[in-house]
Amino acid sequence: MGNVLELKGICKSFKTFSLDSVSFTVPAGSVCGFVGINGAGKSTTVKIIEGLLKKDAGEVILFGEKKLTSKVKSLIGFVPDSCYFYEKQTLLGVKKFISGMYDNWDEQAYRKYMDLFGLDEKKKTGELSKGMSMQFSLALALSHNAKLLIMDEPTSGLDPYIRSRIVNVLKEFVRNGENSVIFSTHILSDLEKTADKIVFIHDGRIVFEEKRDDLPLFFREKYGIEHTTLDDSIVACIEQLKIQASRFPNKAHAEGGAEK
């Protein structure tokens, strides 16, 4: 099926931070874990993919298109890291507004997810817990036949039960081999259960892009790390990158930007 997303040499500069030639792909039918510590560049990259932030250089190719047309936008579902609803609006009111934005709105799918998550449309969004709000965002994102789901720190601050429920929904979503997920997070245990590949960004640069099953061999050969958990391996990798940056700043910059 090819790639639903290709990033090629994305650059974006701020006063104190920059993305440096960020490149990676998301194959159809996969969950791509996009990981890195806070401030590494995950959210900036996600905003550029969505067209919410203008890039300085590079290409974003979604579903084979270089332009973010209304048709392409309709194929993307987004779940942010915090509630973006007017707190006095009911869930039903939000649904009516969101559904009106999509020609391909699927009311049956919406009802399925609302029932699955046990959400009451009569409630106001300000009455929702963080877990309920996240599940409502996910229900909306999955109810217009999206082919790519972008999740920016979706499980941060949620209890294990809600996180497990969300993970199971993602597994079901990609099962048809056509739908895909970008799962941007720093809670790496969730990715141990779901991700097909891991893209690791550090200090605005892609350090590696590897299939999850290939990580033990990759960490051993590249960094001399005996892989136990993704969390432990990433921490060990970050420590090595810090040491390398302090000793050979130019080399660390070049290798961090070139590693795929």
Q: Each residue of 34-58: pLDDT tens digit?
A: 999 888 999 999 999 999 999 999 9
User: Which SS3 state, helix, strand or coil, does residue 22 take?
Assistant: strand
Question: Does residue 252 register a pLDDT over 50?
Answer: no
pLDDT score recorded for residue 258 = 36
Beta carbons of 138 and 155 less than 8 angstroms apart = no
Compute the C-alpha angle 207/241/232, nearest 5°: 85
Q: Residue 226, Cβ neighbours under 10 Å: how many?
A: 11
Q: Each residue of 160-169: pLDDT tens digit?
A: 888 888 888 9
pLDDT band at residue 257 under the 50/70/90 scheme: very low
Q: How far apart are CA 99 and CA 191, in angstroms?
A: 30
Q: How far apart are CA 196 and CA 137, in angstroms?
A: 23
Instruction: Please name which of 129, 144, 135 lies closest in space to residue 114, comparing C-alpha atoms.
Output: 135
CB within 8 Å of 55: residues ≥ 6 apart: 10, 11, 12, 48
The number of residues making up the chain comes to 260
User: Which SS3 state, helix, strand or coil, does residue 260 take?
Assistant: coil
Q: How far apart are CA 151 and CA 184, in angstroms?
A: 6
Q: Each residue of 73-126: pLDDT tens digit?
A: 999 999 887 666 778 899 999 999 999 999 899 999 999 999 999 999 999 999
- Is the whole-model pTM more than 0.85? yes
* Least confident stretch, 185-194, 221-230, 243-252: 243-252
Rounded to 5 degrees, what are φ and ψ at 35?
-120, 155
For residue 32, what are the β-bridge partners? 182, 197
Please give the mean pLDDT across all residues of the chain. 89
User: Which SS3 state, helix, strand or coil, does residue 101 take?
Assistant: coil
CA dihedral 173, 175, 176, 181 (to 10 degrees): 50
Q: Each residue of 168-215: pLDDT tens digit?
A: 899 999 999 999 999 998 778 888 878 999 999 999 999 999 999 999
Q: How far apart are CA 237 and CA 205, in angstroms?
A: 14
Cβ burial, residue 38 (10 Å; 0-12/13-18/19+): exposed
The H or E element spanning position 211 is strand 205-211
Residue 89: both structure tokens together: 């609006």
Rounded to 5 degrees, what are φ and ψ at 80?
-80, 175
Taken in order of first residue, the domains within the chain and their CATH numbers are 3-75+147-258 (3.40.50.300)
Residue 78: HSE in the Cβ half-sphere, 13 Å Cα cutoff: 18
pLDDT score recorded for residue 233 = 92
